[in-house]
Each structure stands twice: as C-alpha cells, then as structure tokens.
C-alpha cells in the first residue's frame, strides 16, 4: 500500500505525494501563493521573497525553496505575512517605472496584479535609482531596465533552457541590473531572439518589439494591397487574448477579424509548410540515398538557425537548406501574387502573423531581401494581432467564422502540425511513407506528445533502410545533442529542433501563459485541427500538385532552389573589438589578424597566434607587421583562420605562418 | 616599439594564466585577478577571449567582473591615488582635498582617470588609518594629515619626475 504522508496547510491536511516544495502543496489546498521568481521549469532562485509562509517551529520561510516534511504545519496568510508581502511590493514599486497606461504588459503584468491583490494603496518609499536608457536596437525585443524587478527569470531561462546566457546580472547590491555583456544591445550579442525572456518576465522589462503601427499605415495606404499569412500556432492561442476557451471556430473568427481590420487577402503559412515538407523530405531522401550529409537538421526555427550559425559552424552543412515556411511563403508570394492579384510587386505589402519574436529577425535577414526589397515586409506576433483586433474595437467572440483565401490559404493537416514540437518530423514521415510506399496510416503518431521532457526519438523501417528521428525543443538540449553528433556519439537521420518549449505553440509571441498545462492545451488543439481536416499529407494538397506542375516543375529543382532554399554562414557571437598588439599607426605595415573565436580557438589558433608573435619578435620584423587577435572572421568551419595582408588562410598551420610571413618580410626587405 | 612588445607579452601572459588555471570556470575570480594584474584593468576584448576559453557566456563573465569593485573595466592610470572619505577623514576635511585633486587633474566623481592615463583618483570608505586622518595613499605609499596644498605638491612632484 502507498504510504500516506500529510502536510497541514492552514490546519487542513493535504496529501504529500511527490511535491518538492510548499508552493506546490499549497496549490493542492487551493491557495495560490504569489511569486515573481518561481517558474516550475527553471531552477529555484528564492530571490523575490513574495512567497513567504510560516512553518511551525521554523518561522518564516520561502515556500518555493522549502521542502515539505511529514506533519509540517504551514500558515500561508497570517497578518505578518500579508504585511511583509505588501512591504516587498512597495519596495519593488518604489523604483519600478509605474507608467502602466503606456506599458505593453499592462494587461498581464504580474507586479500590477499582485499589487492589486494585496491591496497596496500607498507607497511610502521614494525612487532611488536613476533612469536607464532603453535598448531598442534588436529587431525582436525591447529592454526597459526601469521596469525590472530583478527576479532573474529571463537570466535563468536564457542560461538554463536555451544554454546561451545572453543576459546576466551586472554590478552588485543597489546598482544591480540585467544586461547583455558590456552593456551592449541585444542586437549585438549572442541573443537568438527567441523572446522567452520576455515571455517569462513578470513585468514589462522585456517586451516584444511592436510593429503594429507599420501595418496600420500600410492598411490605411490606398496604394497598398496588404496580404497576410498566418502561422499554424497562432490560431490555437489568439482566442486566449479574449478569454475564450479553445474551439475549432477560433481559426475562422481570426480570419474574419483580419478581414475586418482591413487585410485584403488572408492566407495560411500552413500552405507553405506543406511546401517545406515536400522540399525538405526530398532533400532528406536524396541525402539518404546518395550518401549526403546526415543527420539533417530542420531549419524552420529562426532562433535555432542563428544559434547554429554562431555555435555550431561545423554542422551548418547538416542544416536543411530549406527556408522556413514564413520565408518560402514570402518569396513565393512576391513572385506569384503580383500576377495573381494584378498588383505591382512594390504595392504589395506582405505581413506575417507569427507565434514567434525571432521571425522578426529572420524576415530582416539580407538574403531574404532580393534587390533590397524584403520578401516579408512586416512580422506581427500573435500578441500584436490580438492588440490590433482590440484597437479596432472588434468583438472577437461574436464574429462569424470566415475562411482563408485560395490558393495560398489551402493547407493539409501536415502543414498545421508544424505548430507543435515534433510536427515537422511527423509531416516528413507522412510524406516519406507515401513516397516509399510504407504500410503506415496517413496520420502516423510516431512520437506521442511529451511536452515536458523536451526530447523524443523514433525509428521506422523502410525499403531504404532504418530512418531514425530525434525531436528536441530548448536550445540547450539541442546544443548537447549537436555536440554528441559532432563527436560521433549519437546517430540520427533527421533532427528537428525548436527553440521554444513545446515548439511554436510555446513561442514568445503567443499570449503570456507559461504553464506546461496551457501549452498542452494548445498542442492538443493543433492535433485536433489536423484530425478534423480531410487531407493529412502534404503531397495530397491539390494546390501543391498544381504549383509543381505549373511553376516549380519538381522538388529541389533550380527554380525551387532559387526561391525556397537558402544558405547559412558562421556568425560572430558578439560584436567586439580586436586585440591590437601594435600601434595601428603605420599604414605601410602588413596587417596580420589571427582569429581567436571559439571555433578557431578550439582548433589551435592560440598556438598560431603565439607563434606569429614570437616569429615577428625574434626576427625583428616589427617594422613590417602589425599583429592583432580578432574575434571571429565568420569562417568558423574553415578555422583556424589567419589573415596576412590580402591573403586569407583557412585551416592555417604554423608552417603556413612561417612561409607567408617569410615571403612578406622578403618583399619588404627588398 | 616597446608598446608593441608589451601588448603581445600581455596577451601571451593571458594564455599562460588560463593554462595555469586549467581553463577551469570555477577559478574565474583568480583568473580575472591575474589578468587585471597584467593589464591594470580588464579590457573588454580580453574578457571576451577569457569567456570563450572558459566556455562561459561573456555576459556571465561581465557580471562577475562588475560584481567586485576590485575589478576595473576602465583603464587605470599609471599612478593610483586613493583618498579616504570615511567618517574620521571626512570630519577632518577630506572633502576639500578631494575637490582640489579633482580640479588639479580635471577629474570628477564619474571620470576617475586622466586622458593621458597618468593618474587615477579614487575615494575609499576607510583605510584603517583614522589616527592620521585625512589620509591619502599614492601608489601604495601612505600620506597622513593631508591638506589640499600638500596634495597638489605631491602631484606636481610626480608630474615633474614623469616629464623629466
């Protein structure tokens, strides 16, 4: 028989099963204890002190970091506790920029909410901190340190879940604030724009870069035809902004609301997701059959792509060359829609509605702006679309559903499940099953929903051999898996990576709701949407067939490569200065730059640099050369890289250095 | 030319420091101390290099470097002048000395190092020499019963020897 242990919360017995802290037990006793710094998916920090409770025999303890014991007696709202919580809020509010009416997080600010709940109605403390500059350079996010309550949720998410650590605490005591390294902007450091820092922020200290004004301007412009694409995950979360429960009709209401706002055409990113499936599955099968680079990593997630570019240069040729569904839609729309709608290309404004903040960064990548004109003009998040609907005064709940426009609004279930982590793999399997005549149902559920574990894998036997799939979400897990792949310790054929918890449904552009349960509901709604659709495989989408017959010819054709594929380049993690070893005064000297970025460093750049400096010094060549260590020449896959004058030497060796320095010195001696 | 060699030597020294500490991120503070001893401050580009070598994020290393007031991210002067402004020194007139030195060197509360990197002037809370208040320390040498006039004289003497 199971042992029965009890803890007494406010004198009522509560069964203690596997809860690790008082906070979770209190929830069972129908008590929500206020917190800022507690997130069930992050490490316990215990900094905000909001969750104080009284434990008999121990006095006041933080309920997030205190483990239960049998017979423990806890009080959650004594007079003393309520008074202390109020004081904590007062102290936080003293330095918090309280311009709530102008704040993007006004509607879902935890500080405002808890302050109201506790009835804080006077502030006895004055502001002690000087106002800090806002960081507005990132295409995805805005940081306002003046609203930060130093709970550290953003710092821990970036470090513990994404494995990046783009932001951290700076200074000590009264002067502490959260910042990227050296006080730089998020735009110039290793931030991948996933935006989860904004999603976990309890206040408005990190928010989504709002672009709604640009879209309103295009809609108001009579010369512009404004066309929208909507990502799969948006439709299962938008209704949360209007406090509506999940419902299949919400997709139709969303389309109706967008028409009311003034979008001329409303299309579906799931359409181009179908296209992604066909292109990517063929790319994969070709690699499998012809002995190309495997595993193939998916490339739909722009946060993962940037992460791979800055941290895994060796794996870049493993990434699928397929553009993400957003960008496939963008290039295809800018080529086909002018004729289809009878509108000149420059008058077409393409807006995508995404669950994601990194999509804003992706749309701005120069390779997706042929001739300087962006394929996707503006990217709005689910939150921003919700705000536009509210701004226009549209009563979302009362709308009659409407349908997407054809042809680019017609998608299959395979395109829709892209919103869930594991969806891309599943869609690829559905396609491959058809192509390889596998005896599996149309909707194979290879890997049942797992959500909180973050990793799953599956194998299927096919005539071309065993196909092994792995699915991860969270970049730290992806990083760990990538390292094993690099070392040859693990083998898979296809690895799907999504940065956000649960995939796009848990994207930072979605309405604020960070609980696992909330995401599970969204995931289920996506799966149900797929089940209710009549077509489940991308290859059965009649408009895909038409698109290939009339325009693209065949998957991975030259035309497809031009419009639907891309290339990757290694990328600096941080904008930084060079380490100059010589006064850069003498223009006639030959400039020698040794890359000491991570990748080159690991490949022995350090010895090359030491050798270069020694060679120059030993030969008395200071008048000929000036040496600098530079932080990434963005050629990581070919490192170590050394630049001597005009010559760029990849995979440099000490012998190369000796030879070229000798030649250059001879030239100068002459 | 001598500058060239110094910078190269310093960087080689950073490599040695990292090796001596086995590239161990847990020894981050002593690594930073050694690096600062070499450069007299923590240059940003060197910090990024150290972070990369230790496999920690530059933001984390920057956090450590800014946590301890011992570490400086700004270049420090060749001569470091510290003026005590603790209780005892304060009541005995340290403020007047501080004002005089700042005026003499063109410095302020926020700008503490001269443009020619010759002097850094800092105030400290207590040097534990209250009997000599007000106390000034120039390059580790303690000067008690300081007055504005005496402080200027000492600085003038350093300037003269530097120009000689």
Q: A468-480 pLDDT, tens per residue?
A: 999 999 999 999 9
**Chain B partners within 8 Å of A629 (Cβ):** 11, 45, 49
The 3-state secondary structure of A561-582 reads HHHHECCCCCCCCCCCCCEECC
Q: Does B71 touch chain A (CB under 8 A)?
A: no
Query: Residues A76-93: what's their mean pLDDT?
Result: 95
> Residues A430, A441: contact at Cβ < 8 Å?
no
If asked whether residues B32 and B86 sit together in one domain, one would say: no
**Chain A partners within 8 Å of B66 (Cβ):** 170-172
Q: Which residues contact A516 (CB under 8 A, 6 or more apart)?
A: A40, A41, A451, A452, A501
> Residues A664, A624: contact at Cβ < 8 Å?
yes
For B52, the closest of A578, A580, A598 (CB atoms) is: A598
Q: Does B77 touch chain A (CB under 8 A)?
A: no
Q: Any idea which fold A6-77 has?
A: Ubiquitin-like (UB roll) (3.10.20)
Query: Residues A273-286: what's their mean pLDDT?
Result: 96
If asked whether residues B58 and B98 sit together in one domain, one would say: no
pLDDT band at B43 (very low <50, low <70, confident <90, very high): confident
- Say which of A311, A320, A331, A349 is annotated catalytic: A320
A669 catalytic? Reply is no
Query: Residues A3-32: what's their mean pLDDT?
Result: 92
Domain with B62 in it: 2-67
A110 catalytic? Reply is no
Is A87-208 in CATH node 3.40.190.10?
A: no
Q: To probe the interface with A, which of B1, B8, B29, B49 has the most A CB atoms within 10 Å? A: B8
- Strand residues in A333-454 grouped as ranges (E): 348-354, 378-381
If asked whether residues B41 and B96 sit together in one domain, one would say: no
Peptide bond into A640 cis (omega under 30): yes
Using the Cα atoms of residue A304, residue A306, residue A310 and residue A312 in order, give the sign of their dihedral: positive
Rounded distance between C-alpha atoms, residue A356 and residue A198, angstroms: 11
Note the Cα B101 to chain centre separation in Å: 16
> Residues A237, A503: contact at Cβ < 8 Å?
no
Interchain proximity B63–A168, CB inside 8 Å: yes
- Say which of A367, A459, A549, A663 is annotated catalytic: A367
If asked whether residues B87 and B145 sit together in one domain, one would say: yes
A362 catalytic? Reply is yes
pLDDT digits (tens, 9 = 90+) for B80-100: 999 999 999 999 999 999 999
Q: Which DSSP category does A319 fall into?
A: B
> Residues A68, A175: contact at Cβ < 8 Å?
no
Q: Are strands A265-268 and A225-230 parallel, antiparallel or unpaired?
A: parallel
Q: Which residues contact B99 (CB under 8 A, 6 or more apart)?
A: B148
Q: Which residues contact A539 (CB under 8 A, 6 or more apart)?
A: A278, A431, A434, A435, A545
CA nearest to A656, candidates A623, A619, A607, A621? A607
Q: Which DSSP category does A160 fall into?
A: I
Rounded distance between C-alpha atoms, residue A261 and residue A392, angstroms: 7
**CA Rg, chain A, in Å?**
28
| pLDDT given for residue A518 in this prediction | 84
Q: Which residues contact A122 (CB under 8 A, 6 or more apart)?
A: A90
* Start-to-end Cα distance in chain A: 93
> Residues A270, A411: contact at Cβ < 8 Å?
yes
Give the residue, A324 or B111, on which the prediction is more confident: A324
Residue B6 in this model has a pLDDT that exceeds 70: no
Rounded distance between C-alpha atoms, residue B62 and residue A637, angstroms: 28
How big, in percent rounded to 5, are the helix, strand and coil portions of chain A? 45, 15, 40
Interchain proximity B49–A579, CB inside 8 Å: yes
Note the residue count of chain A. Answer: 670
pLDDT digits (tens, 9 = 90+) for B66-83: 999 889 888 888 899 999
Q: Report the gap between the CA of A41 and the closest CA in chain B (Å).
A: 21
> Residues A235, A408: contact at Cβ < 8 Å?
no
For B11, the closest of A166, A167, A581 (CB atoms) is: A581
- Say which of A97, A240, A283, A426 is annotated catalytic: A283
Rounded distance between C-alpha atoms, residue B57 and residue A156, angstroms: 13
CA nearest to A554, candidates A300, A283, A370? A283
Q: What percent of chain A is modeled with pLDDT above 70?
A: 95
pLDDT band at A79 (very low <50, low <70, confident <90, very high): very high
For B48, the closest of A576, A583, A609 (CB atoms) is: A576
- Strand residues in A64-191 grouped as ranges (E): 73-75, 141-143, 167-170, 177-180
For A578, the closest of B45, B59, B63 (CB atoms) is: B45
Interchain proximity A182–B43, CB inside 8 Å: no
Q: Which residues contact B37 (CB under 8 A, 6 or more apart)?
A: none
Rounded distance between C-alpha atoms, residue A586 and residue A227, angstroms: 56
If asked whether residues B122 and B48 sit together in one domain, one would say: no
Number of domains in chain B: 2
Interchain proximity A582–B7, CB inside 8 Å: yes
Rounded distance between C-alpha atoms, residue A216 and residue A229, angstroms: 16
Residue B3 in this model has a pLDDT that exceeds 50: no
| Structure token pair of residue A151 | 């709970």
B73 is a domain residue: no
Q: What percent of chain A is modeled with pLDDT above 90?
A: 70
pLDDT band at B2 (very low <50, low <70, confident <90, very high): very low
Q: Report the gap between the CA of B131 and the closest CA in chain A (Å).
A: 30
| pLDDT given for residue A577 in this prediction | 64
B62 is a domain residue: yes
Interchain proximity B45–A631, CB inside 8 Å: yes
Q: Does B58 touch chain A (CB under 8 A)?
A: yes
Residue A263 in this model has a pLDDT that exceeds 70: yes
| pLDDT given for residue A605 in this prediction | 79
pLDDT digits (tens, 9 = 90+) for A329-369: 999 999 999 999 999 999 999 999 999 999 999 999 999 99
For A583, the closest of B3, B46, B67 (CB atoms) is: B3
Q: Which DSSP category does A370 fall into?
A: G
> Residues A416, A530: contact at Cβ < 8 Å?
yes
Rounded distance between C-alpha atoms, residue B162 and residue B164, angstroms: 6
If asked whether residues B59 and B86 sit together in one domain, one would say: no
Largest CA distance in chain B: 51
| pLDDT given for residue A1 in this prediction | 46
Is A579-669 in CATH node 3.40.30.10?
A: yes
| Structure token pair of residue A294 | 């495997």
Domain ranges of chain A: 6-77, 87-208, 212-564, 579-669
| pLDDT given for residue A440 in this prediction | 74
Q: Report the gap between the CA of A178 and the closest CA in chain B (Å).
A: 9
Give the residue, A440 or A229, on which the prediction is more confident: A229
Query: Residues A498-514: what's their mean pLDDT?
Result: 91
Interchain proximity A581–B57, CB inside 8 Å: no
Note the Cα B136 to chain centre separation in Å: 15
CA nearest to A329, candidates A362, A357, A358? A362
If asked whether residues B52 and B97 sit together in one domain, one would say: no
| pLDDT given for residue A250 in this prediction | 93
Interchain proximity B61–A181, CB inside 8 Å: yes
pLDDT digits (tens, 9 = 90+) for A403-424: 999 999 999 999 999 999 999 9
Total-model pTM: 0.87
| pLDDT given for residue A621 in this prediction | 85
Q: Does B22 touch chain A (CB under 8 A)?
A: no
Interchain proximity A159–B8, CB inside 8 Å: no
**Chain B partners within 8 Å of A190 (Cβ):** 57-58
If asked whether residues B58 and B84 sit together in one domain, one would say: no
Nearest CA in chain B to A177: B63
Q: Does B75 touch chain A (CB under 8 A)?
A: no
Q: Does B136 touch chain A (CB under 8 A)?
A: no
Q: Report the gap between the CA of B21 and the closest CA in chain A (Å).
A: 16
CA nearest to A25, candidates A70, A89, A59, A78? A70
Rounded distance between C-alpha atoms, residue B75 and residue B77, angstroms: 7
> Where is average pLDDT lowest: A186-195, A345-354, A582-591, B120-129?
A582-591
Quote ipTM for the complex.
0.84
Helices (H), chain B: 2-20, 28-39, 44-54, 58-67, 87-91, 94-105, 148-163
CA nearest to A523, candidates A421, A661, A383? A421
Question: A212-564 — its CATH code?
Answer: 3.40.50.1780
CA nearest to B89, candidates B98, B77, B81? B98
If asked whether residues B105 and B158 sit together in one domain, one would say: yes
Q: Does B11 touch chain A (CB under 8 A)?
A: yes
pLDDT digits (tens, 9 = 90+) for A594-626: 887 767 777 777 788 888 888 888 888 888 888
Q: Show the CA angle centred on residue A138, arms to residues A132 and A139, nearest 5°.
A: 140
> Where is average pLDDT lowest: A386-400, A559-573, A600-614?
A600-614
| pLDDT given for residue A572 in this prediction | 80
A280 catalytic? Reply is yes
CA nearest to A427, candidates A406, A411, A408, A451? A411
H helices, E strands: number in chain A = 21, 22
**Chain B partners within 8 Å of A311 (Cβ):** none
pLDDT digits (tens, 9 = 90+) for A197-234: 999 999 999 999 999 999 999 999 999 999 999 999 99
| pLDDT given for residue B4 in this prediction | 47
If asked whether residues B37 and B13 sit together in one domain, one would say: yes
Residue A243 in this model has a pLDDT that exceeds 70: yes
Mean pLDDT of chain A, nearest integer: 91
> Residues A237, A510: contact at Cβ < 8 Å?
yes
Residue B41 in this model has a pLDDT that exceeds 80: yes
For A581, the closest of B4, B48, B66 (CB atoms) is: B4
Rounded distance between C-alpha atoms, residue A649 and residue A660, angstroms: 10
Residue B5 in this model has a pLDDT that exceeds 60: no
Q: Report the gap between the CA of B19 and the closest CA in chain A (Å).
A: 11
Residue B7 in this model has a pLDDT that exceeds 80: no
| pLDDT given for residue A584 in this prediction | 54
| Structure token pair of residue A392 | 């226009």
| pLDDT given for residue A444 in this prediction | 63
B140 is a domain residue: yes
Residue A632 in this model has a pLDDT that exceeds 60: yes
Q: Report the gap between the CA of A168 and the closest CA in chain B (Å).
A: 6
Give the residue, A636 or A366, on which the prediction is more confident: A366
Residue B1 in this model has a pLDDT that exceeds 50: no
| pLDDT given for residue A640 in this prediction | 85
Rounded distance between C-alpha atoms, residue B102 and residue A63, angstroms: 51
Q: Are strands A296-297 and A348-354 parallel, antiparallel or unpaired?
A: unpaired
> Residues A202, A512: contact at Cβ < 8 Å?
no
Rounded distance between C-alpha atoms, residue A447 and residue A65, angstroms: 34
Q: Does B108 touch chain A (CB under 8 A)?
A: no
A607 catalytic? Reply is no
Interchain proximity A167–B59, CB inside 8 Å: yes
């Amino acid at each position: 028989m199971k042992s029965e242990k009890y803890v007494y919360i406010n004198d009522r017995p509560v069964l203690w099963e596997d809860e690790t802290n008082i906070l979770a037990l209190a929830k069972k006793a129908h008590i929500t204890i206020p917190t800022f710094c507690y997130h069930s998916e992050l490490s316990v920090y215990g900094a905000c002190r909001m969750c104080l409770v009284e434990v008999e025999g121990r006095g006041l303890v933080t309920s997030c970091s205190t483990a239960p014991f049998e017979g423990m007696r806890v009080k959650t709202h004594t007079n003393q506790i309520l008074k202390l919580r109020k004081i904590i809020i007062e102290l936080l509010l003293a330095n918090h920029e309280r311009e709530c009416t102008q704040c993007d997080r006004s509607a879902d600010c935890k500080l405002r909410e808890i302050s109201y709940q506790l009835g804080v109605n006077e502030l006895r403390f004055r502001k002690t901190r000087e106002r800090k500059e806002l960081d507005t350079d990132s295409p995805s996010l805005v940081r306002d340190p003046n609203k930060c309550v130093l709970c550290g949720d953003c710092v821990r998410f970036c470090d513990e879940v994404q494995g990046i650590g783009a932001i951290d605490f700076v200074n000590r005591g009264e002067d502490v604030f959260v910042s990227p390294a050296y006080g730089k902007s998020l735009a110039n450091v290793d931030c991948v724009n996933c935006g989860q820092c904004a999603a976990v922020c309890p206040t408005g200290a990190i928010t989504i870069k709002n672009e709604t004004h640009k879209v309103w301007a295009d809609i108001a412009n009579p010369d512009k035809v404004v066309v929208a694409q909507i990502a799969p995950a948006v439709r299962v979360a938008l209704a949360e902004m209007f406090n509506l429960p999940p419902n299949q009709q919400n997709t139709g209401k969303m389309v109706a609301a967008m028409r009311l706002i003034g979008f001329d055409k409303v299309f579906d990113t799931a359409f181009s997701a179908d296209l992604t499936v066909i292109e990517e599955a063929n790319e994969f099968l070709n690699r499998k059959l012809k002995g190309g680079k495997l595993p193939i990593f998916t490339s739909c997630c722009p946060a993962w792509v940037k992460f791979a570019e800055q941290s895994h240069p060796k794996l870049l040729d493993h990434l699928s060359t397929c553009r993400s569904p957003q960008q496939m839609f963008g290039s295809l729309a800018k080529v086909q829609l002018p004729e289809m709608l009878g509108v000149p290309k420059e008058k077409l404004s393409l807006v995508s509605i995404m669950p994601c903040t990194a999509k804003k960064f992706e749309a701005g990548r120069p390779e997706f702006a042929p001739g300087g004109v962006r394929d996707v003009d503006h990217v709005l998040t689910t939150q921003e679309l919700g705000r536009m609907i509210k701004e226009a005064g549209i009563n979302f709940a009362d709308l009659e559903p409407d349908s997407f426009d054809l042809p680019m609004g017609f998608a299959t279930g395979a395109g829709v499940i892209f919103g869930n982590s594991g969806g891309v793999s599943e869609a690829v399997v559905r396609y491959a099953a058809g192509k390889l005549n596998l005896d599996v149902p149309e909707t194979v559920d290879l890997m049942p929903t797992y959500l909180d574990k973050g990793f799953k894998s599956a194998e299927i036997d096919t005539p071309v051999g065993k196909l092994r799939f792995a699915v991860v979400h969270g970049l730290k897990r992806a990083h760990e898996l990538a390292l094993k792949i690099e070392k040859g310790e693990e083998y898979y054929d296809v690895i799907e990576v999504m940065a956000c918890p649960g995939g796009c449904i848990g994207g930072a552009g979605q309405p604020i709701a960070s609980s696992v349960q909330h995401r599970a509901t969204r995931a289920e709604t996506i799966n149900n949407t797929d089940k209710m659709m009549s077509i489940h495989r991308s290859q059965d989408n009649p408009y895909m067939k038409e698109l290939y017959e009339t325009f693209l010819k065949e998957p991975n054709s030259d035309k497809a490569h031009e419009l639907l594929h891309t290339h990757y380049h290694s990328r600096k993690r941080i904008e930084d200065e060079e380490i100059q070893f010589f006064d850069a005064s003498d223009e006639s000297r030959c400039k020698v730059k040794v890359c000491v970025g991570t990748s080159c460093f690991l490949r022995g750049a350090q010895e090359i640099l030491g050798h270069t400096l020694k060679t120059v010094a030993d030969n008395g060549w200071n008048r000929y050369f000036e040496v600098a260590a530079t932080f990434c020449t963005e050629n990581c896959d070919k490192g170590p890289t050394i630049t001597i004058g005009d010559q760029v030497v990849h995979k440099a060796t000490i012998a190369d250095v000796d030879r070229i320095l000798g030649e250059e010195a001879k030239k100068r001696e002459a | 030319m001598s500058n060239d060699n110094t910078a190269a030597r310093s960087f080689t020294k950073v490599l040695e420091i990292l090796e001596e500490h086995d590239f161990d991120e847990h020894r981050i503070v002593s690594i930073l101390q050694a690096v600062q001893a070499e450069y007299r401050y923590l240059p940003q580009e060197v910090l990024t290099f150290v972070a990369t070598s230790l496999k920690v994020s530059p933001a984390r290393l920057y956090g450590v470097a800014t946590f301890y007031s011992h570490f400086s991210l700004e270049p420090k002067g060749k001569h470091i002048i510290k003026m005590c402004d603790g209780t005892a020194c304060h009541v005995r007139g340290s403020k007047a000395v501080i004002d005089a030195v700042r005026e003499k060197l063109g410095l302020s509360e926020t700008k503490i190092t001269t443009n020619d990197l010759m002097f850094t002037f800092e105030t400290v809370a207590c040097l534990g020499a209250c009997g000599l208040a007000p106390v000034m320390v120039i390059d580790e040498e303690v000067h008690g019963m300081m007055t504005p006039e005496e402080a200027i004289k000492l600085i003038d003497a350093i300037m003269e020897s530097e120009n000689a």
